[in-house]
């Protein structure tokens, strides 16, 4: 029997803000995916992944997960000995959830009590997010559990605040002129150091104030208008959000992206924002006219993820 595929995820809105109780909107992205497989480990990639799983299984064995979410670690370790590896094309350090997909795949295969993502209650969704946070902390030091949850549920999730989250419907995409797209910055980013920079900034009262009074307000307004497909207020708030990030998230914006970020703000042809923690990887772009934006962003690798 083949194991299920787990897709990458994209944080459309809420990066960093979710740490301070803003809303978040996270969607699965099926272009990238991963699945657990067995092999004779003859390739370098498979062998490396298998060794990685060995170390990770020791970490999971030491975790004290609640009874409802316990893992069959013994079966996991036996499978690793038999050549288990994680076959994934999800790029690492790109803000699209490579570790999240792995955590989701392991939980799905080795959880002692099986859960049906379709039937899961709002309360259990919250508990599962916490469990995933513990499991993913191996990779980032501290994790909200959101990435693995999105990968596991394979549904868009609206984070209402620190305590509440729920499934949500994204407006149907259609073949219009507008688009949400990814730009490849050309370098990988590391989540840990970026989060460290954010927490350093949070020690400054001025930054805390502007994050709460401006960033979170623009962020939540973007989510509300996007879900209603109300595009005029959406782009109005998006410009404010992009400008705020340009002013306050400079260390998180890769150098290769700096000029085109400003170009978008000056021309109103498109607006950019971080995709995940930044520092490298992908940057998110939003435009009412993709053909025009594409021309202006010539030389950058782009992937359209949603049309409107």
pLDDT in tens, 133-164: 999 999 877 787 888 998 999 989 999 987 78
Q: Regarding the domain with residue range 179-307, which homologous superfamily does it belong to in the CATH classification?
A: GHMP kinase, C-terminal domain (3.30.70.890)
- The model carries a pTM of 0.84
Beta bridge partners of 250: none
**pLDDT confidence band for 296 (50 / 70 / 90):** very high
**For residues 66 and 162, what is the distance between their CA atoms, to the nearest angstrom?**
20
CA atoms within 13 A of residue 42's CA, in its CB half-sphere? 2
* Cα torsion through 87, 56, 40, 35, rounded to 10: -20
Sign of CA dihedral 234, 236, 239, 244: negative
Query: What are the distances in angstroms from CA 255 to CA 108, 179, 262, 276, 303?
Result: 39, 24, 12, 16, 20
Strands 302-307 and 24-38 turn out to be: unpaired
Phi, psi of 274 (to 5 degrees): -70, 150
Q: Which residues pair with 282 in a beta bridge?
A: 184
Determine what percent of the chain is predicted with pLDDT higher than 70: 99
With a cut of 60, say whether residue 178 has pLDDT above it: yes
Residues 95, 101, 102: CA angle, nearest 5 degrees: 115
Percent of the chain with pLDDT over 90: 75
Q: How far apart are CA 100 and CA 129, in angstroms?
A: 11
**Residue 165: predicted pLDDT:** 87
Domain 6-167, CATH class in plain words:
alpha beta
Cα distances (Å, whole numbers) of residue 24 to 27, 71, 127: 10, 29, 18
In three-state secondary structure terms, 178 is coil
Give the burial class of 50: count Cβ atoms within 10 A of its Cβ; 0-12 exposed, 13-18 middle, 19 or more buried.
Answer: buried
Per-residue pLDDT averaged across 101-111, rounded? 96
Q: SS3 string of 100-151?
A: HHHHHHHHHHHECCCCCCCCCCHHHHHHHHHHHHHHHHHHHCCCCCHHHHHH
Interval 273-292 mean pLDDT: 95
Average pLDDT for residues 117-127, to the nearest whole number? Answer: 86
The mean pLDDT of 24-40, rounded to a whole number, is 94
Kindly indicate the confidence band of residue 183, based on its pLDDT and cuts at 50, 70 and 90.
very high
Q: What is the rounded average pLDDT of the residues 28-51?
A: 95
The 3-state DSSP class for residue 97 equals coil
Quick one: pLDDT band at residue 114, thresholds 50, 70, 90?
confident
Residue 1 in this model has a pLDDT that exceeds 60: no
The band of 84, judged by pLDDT with boundaries at 50, 70 and 90, is very high
Question: Where does the pLDDT of residue 103 fall: very low under 50, low under 70, confident under 90, or very high at 90 and above?
Answer: very high
The domain limits of the chain are 6-167, 179-307
What's the confidence (pLDDT) of residue 123? Answer: 85
* Rounded CA separation 105/34 (Å): 8
pLDDT at 205: 96
The SS3 of residue 283 is strand
pLDDT digits (tens, 9 = 90+) for 41-75: 999 999 999 999 999 999 999 999 998 999 999 99
DSSP structure class, residue 205 = H
Helix, strand or coil for residue 301? coil
pLDDT band at 2 (very low <50, low <70, confident <90, very high): low
pLDDT at 192: 81
pLDDT in tens, 223-271: 999 999 999 999 999 999 999 999 999 999 999 999 999 999 999 999 9
Strand partners, 271: 286
């Amino acid at each position: 029997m083949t194991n299920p595929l787990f897709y990458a995820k994209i944080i459309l809105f809420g990066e960093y803000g979710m740490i301070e109780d803003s809303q978040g909107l996270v969607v699965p992205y099926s272009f990238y995916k991963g699945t657990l497989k067995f092999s004779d480990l003859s390739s370098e990639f498979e062998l490396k992944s298998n060794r990685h799983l060995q170390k990770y299984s020791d970490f999971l064995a030491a975790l004290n997960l609640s009874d409802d979410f316990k893992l069959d670690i013994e079966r996991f370790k036996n499978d690793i000995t038999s050549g288990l590896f994680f076959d994934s094309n999800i790029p690492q350090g790109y803000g699209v959830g490579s570790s999240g997909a792995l955590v989701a795949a392991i939980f799905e295969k080795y959880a002692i009590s099986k859960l049906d993502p379709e039937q899961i209650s709002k309360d259990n969704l919250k508990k599962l997010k916490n469990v995933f946070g513990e499991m993913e902390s191996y990779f980032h030091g501290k994790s909200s559990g959101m990435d693995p949850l999105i990968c596991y549920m394979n549904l868009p999730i609206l984070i209402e605040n620190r305590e509440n989250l729920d499934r949500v419907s994204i407006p149907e995409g259609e073949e219009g002129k507008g688009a949400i797209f990814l730009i490849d910055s050309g370098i990988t980013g590391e989540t840990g150091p970026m989060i460290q920079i954010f927490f350093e900034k949070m020690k400054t009262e001025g930054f805390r104030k502007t994050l709460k009074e401006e960033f979170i307000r623009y962020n939540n307004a973007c989510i509300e208008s996007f879900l209603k497909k109300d595009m005029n207020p959406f782009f109005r708030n998006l410009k404010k959000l992009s400008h705020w990030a340009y002013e306050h998230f400079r260390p998180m914006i890769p150098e290769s992206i700096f000029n085109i970020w400003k170009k978008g703000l000056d021309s109103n042809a498109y607006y950019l924002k971080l995709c995940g923690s930044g520092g490298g990887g992908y940057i998110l772009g939003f435009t009412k006219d993709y053909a025009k934006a594409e021309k202006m962003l010539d030389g950058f690798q782009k992937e359209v993820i949603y049309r409107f």
